[in-house]
Each structure stands twice: as C-alpha cells, then as structure tokens.
Homo-oligomer: A and B are copies of this chain.
C-alpha cells in the first residue's frame, strides 16, 4: 500500500521559490504562466492493507512531522 502526501505553502504565504521558477519559465520563453507554487511530494510505502488506519496514521504524520501546519497545507491519498 502506498500513501501520497502533497505539502503546499498556504495561499497567503509568499513562495519565493515558485516566483523564481515562474521568472525562469518566462525567461526561456514559456508564455502565459500566471503563477507557480512549489511544494513537497512524499511517497510512503506502507505494510498492511487497512486503508482507513493507514489514512489516519499518515494524516497524523503529515500534521506532526511532514508539514508545518502554520504555513503549509497537506493532502493525503492512499493507493494500492
């Protein structure tokens, strides 16, 4: 079983890394880029088959150590 966690900066938080990528994209000729936000992608390989328990456990982990809930949002998805 696999858990996919995406951690992104909250909308209200400045994302200088994203701004830099946006400028770089424009600089090399990519038009029409309105905004870029950069986050983290975390793939966790899990033992067991209980999806509900896995979801709860990974949500707790996301809140505790994978993200900083003050400035970041996270989403968790469990797949096979």
Contacts and interface: CB of A to CB of B under 8 A. Distances in A.
Question: How many protomers of this protein does the assembly include?
Answer: 2
A46 B65 contact: no
A72 to B, nearest CB: 11
A46 B28 contact: no
Contacts of A71: none
A44 B47 CA distance: 34
Given A28-B64, A65-B28, A35 B44 contact: yes
Contacts of A24: 65
Given A6-B41, A36-B44, 8 more contacts: A21-B65, A25-B61, A28-B64, A34-B46, A35-B45, A39-B43, A40-B41, A41-B41
